[in-house]
Structure 1
Amino acid sequence: MKIRHLEEFDHKDLHNIYSFTEVMANTSQLPFLSSSQVSNLFSASNQYTLVAEVDGKVVGHVTLFLTDKVRDKHTASIAIAVHPESHGQGVGKALMHEAINQSDNWLNLVRVELEVHADNLSAKALYEKVGFETEGIKRLSTFKSGRYIDMVIMSRISPAHRMNA
């Protein structure tokens, strides 16, 4: 597996990942995104996206959403998706480790935050393994599969700044 920066030619593989219902069910997007909609998700200049490539095919991505807000530049939100055929093969873990490496050592981030569906137990377990902690619950904050569910708010503070948290 090779972790590298997202390139324009990767958008077809990203669209493929987001074509799976089980992937879309755990995002904030509606199912059946067009290829241009998926491309637009990853085209903003304030994003830092890494992909996992196996045998020439992108099987996952992690994106850090940076901010232009002057007082929040030390913070980013994170999103990740892995092709269902690559679940359980360490792709998500490798992507998260590299995103954290970039955050701590190159992007000068102190705080990385995310929201995860409360019923996405495997994602929550991954985030905890790489150092994220639960900060709170947004009760009934999203609509999924015909019902409202909770979102879990999680963050990871850079080890260099944990004493200040």
Structure 2
Amino acid sequence: MGDERFAFSIRAAEPRDAEGLAALSNLPGYRFGTLRLPFDTAEAVRKRVLGENPNMTLIVAEAENRIVGSASLQRYTGRRAHVGAIGMGVHDDHLRRGIGRALLSALTELADDWLGLVRLELEVNTDNAAAIALYEAAGFEIEGRARQSILRQGVLVDTFAMARLRPAPGPVSSSA
């Protein structure tokens, strides 16, 4: 995947990616757009995102043997088994190269074609215009605003709750 100027691939995250994921989450721009805290360690990443969670799918974008983006899909259970939550981020030096779009596309395909999820949710900082535009292009809509939702560099920031709804998958009709 990627464009002619920048080649990258999307794959499942593996335990060997902990160092690269920690480095990614410690980048100032990446952290600015996510809920990650400074000083993430490979061990913390291993426990948090690479641990045993059968309802979590974590994928990475890789270029030249380096992690340049990551995205996760957390599937809920019980009465929310039809819902999944997405989180994602792209390396500071590789924005606007199609990585975010490719990560989001991979997760929505998984949600739609393999898991049958009807609702995908995410939260995004209200000042992250590029991410909001990406999510809207993928069919997400703003459902609400959480005022002073997160603390970012000493300032309380609002977030938008966004979601994408689609009809529940139905049976294949036979033409016999």
The 5 A counterparts of 1:96-111 are 96-111=104-119
Please tell me whether residue 130 in structure 1 is matched to residue 138 in structure 2.
yes
One-letter code aligned to 1:123: A
Instruction: Return the offset for 1:54.
Output: 1.6
Structure 1: distance between partners of 2:127 and 2:117? 28
- Of residues 71, 75, 78 in structure 2, which corresponds to 1:66? 75
The 5 A counterparts of 1:1-40 are 1-40=8-47
Q: Deviations over 1:34-63 (max 9, x none)?
A: 221122221241211111122222211110
Q: Match of 1:57?
A: 66
What is the SS of the residue equivalent to 1:109? coil
- Please list every run of 5 or more consecutive structure 1 residues that lacks an aligned counterpart in the other structure: none
Q: Percent identity?
A: 34
Tell me which moved more, 91-100 or 48-57: 48-57
Is residue 25–residue 31 contact of structure 1 (8 Å, CA) maintained in 2? Answer: no
Is residue 66–residue 73 contact of structure 1 (8 Å, CA) maintained in 2? Answer: yes
What is the SS of the residue equivalent to 1:79? strand
The 5 A counterparts of 1:80-119 are 80-119=88-127
Tell me which moved more, 81-90 or 49-58: 49-58
Q: TM-score scaled to structure 1, two decimals?
A: 0.90
CA RMSD, Structure 1 to Structure 2 (Å): 1.6
Going from structure 1 to structure 2, the CA distance change for 1:23 and 1:77 (only over 3 Å counts) comes to same
Is residue 63–residue 80 contact of structure 1 (8 Å, CA) maintained in 2? Answer: yes
Q: TM-score scaled to structure 2, two decimals?
A: 0.85
Residue correspondences, number: 160
- Please list every run of 5 or more consecutive structure 2 residues that lacks an aligned counterpart in the other structure: 1-7, 169-176
Query: Between Structure 1 and Structure 2, whose CA radius of gyration is higher?
Result: 2
